[in-house]
Amino acid sequence: MVIDLRDEVASVLPILDGLARADWQTPTPAVGWNVHDQVSHLAHFDHLTRLSIQSPVEFASLRDGLTDLQAYIDGIGRGNQWRDGEATTAWWRSENRELRDAATVAEPSTRVPWFGPPMSLASKLTARIVETWAHGQDVADTFGVTREPTARLAHVARIGVLAFANSFRTRGLSVPDANIRVELSAPDGFSSWSWGPEDADESVVGDAKEFCLVVTQRCHIADTALVVRGQNAQRWMTIAQAFAGQPGVGRSPNKTVPKA
């Protein structure tokens, strides 16, 4: 897990290293977020994750002192504007390295506090991989850069499937009592990943990257070739959300179509 996190970060850094000063203020496909906001967010939450591992009491104190979590998240980019692009990249490199060091020496059975229920160390690292991939995709799309899909997408896809219920609950909707089969073509071109019963009445079938783009709300389902069968599966794919917190605004059809 630590190695996959390292490699996911490494897939984004070459894009950042080539940016001019003005590029950092370029709006990304995520409404209200520029490139600087995206990278500052990743650096800050790598820092908080390390804090939750190494100093859970200190993290809990910070968390419990917040009156508005969304306002706190929205303020990260603005609060770090004093760092230029080079300093922001260096900050993220440092925070991610320290997080990986902390995770490497931590007991594998460690459960860490977070803004919701406590999480296993493995789950928390998986969440960092997912977030790094998603925000990295925003940066890549901003500059028309194509990142080759890798086996690390299995982490993103798995979280996307596990977040089925959350996708409904976060919107105040009842969770459908449905069996849905997810079958995805892996990036290697010959293997596949699947979840759910083989005889399920409903299904989502297609390319792993496209599924990951949809569940992280980086692409609208209409802009993919995913084959969705069943009413509940259709509803899910229009609101799928592989991250916690308030309902995401998602993307409009054809607004941003990431390169395949």
Q: Tokens 């409904």 label which residue?
A: 168
Q: Are residues 190 and 226 in the same domain?
A: yes
Q: Is 158 domain-assigned?
A: yes
**pLDDT of 131:** 95
Of the chain, the end-to-end C-alpha distance in Å amounts to 25
pTM of the model: 0.92
Q: Do 126 and 84 reside in the same domain of the chain? A: yes
The long-range contacts involving 60-66, CB below 8 angstroms and separated by at least 24 positions, are 60/113, 63/113, 63/114, 63/115
Predicted local distance difference test score (pLDDT) of residue 238 = 94
CA-to-CA separations, 123 to 106, 156, 162, 191, in angstroms, rounded: 14, 11, 11, 24
Q: What pLDDT is recorded for position 257?
A: 43
Assess if residue 226 is contained within a domain: yes
Taking the C-alpha atoms of residue 208 and residue 225, their distance in angstroms, rounded to an integer, is 11
136 with 114, same domain? yes
Read off the pLDDT of residues 63-93 as tens digits, 9 standing for 90 and up: 999 998 888 988 999 999 999 999 999 999 9
Q: Which residues of the chain have pLDDT under 50?
A: 255-260
What pLDDT score does 116 carry? 84
Q: Are residues 159 and 219 in the same domain?
A: yes
Q: Are residues 90 and 173 in the same domain?
A: no
**Does 253 reside within a domain?**
no
Both 35 and 109 in one domain: the answer is yes
What is the predicted pLDDT for the residue at 256? 46
Residues 107 and 170 in one domain: no
Domain with residue 225: its CATH number is 3.30.1050
Cα(252)–Cα(228) distance, rounded to whole angstroms?
A: 18
pLDDT at 258: 43
Domain residues for the domain of 122 are 2-142
244 belongs to a structural domain:
no
Q: pLDDT tens, 129-166?
A: 999 999 999 999 999 999 899 999 999 999 999 999 99
Q: 123 and 183 share a domain? A: no
> Are 190 and 170 within one domain?
yes
Residues 17 and 105 in one domain: yes
Mark whether 161 and 113 lie in a shared domain.
Answer: no
Domain membership of residue 254 (yes or no) is no
Token pair in block for residue 107: 């007991």
Domain count, the chain: 2
Is 257 domain-assigned?
no
The predicted structure's pLDDT at residue 254: 72
pLDDT score at 222: 92
CATH number of the domain at 35, please.
1.20.120.450
pLDDT value for 249: 72
Note whether 134 and 182 are same-domain residues.
no
Question: For tokens 């941003």, what's the residue?
Answer: 256
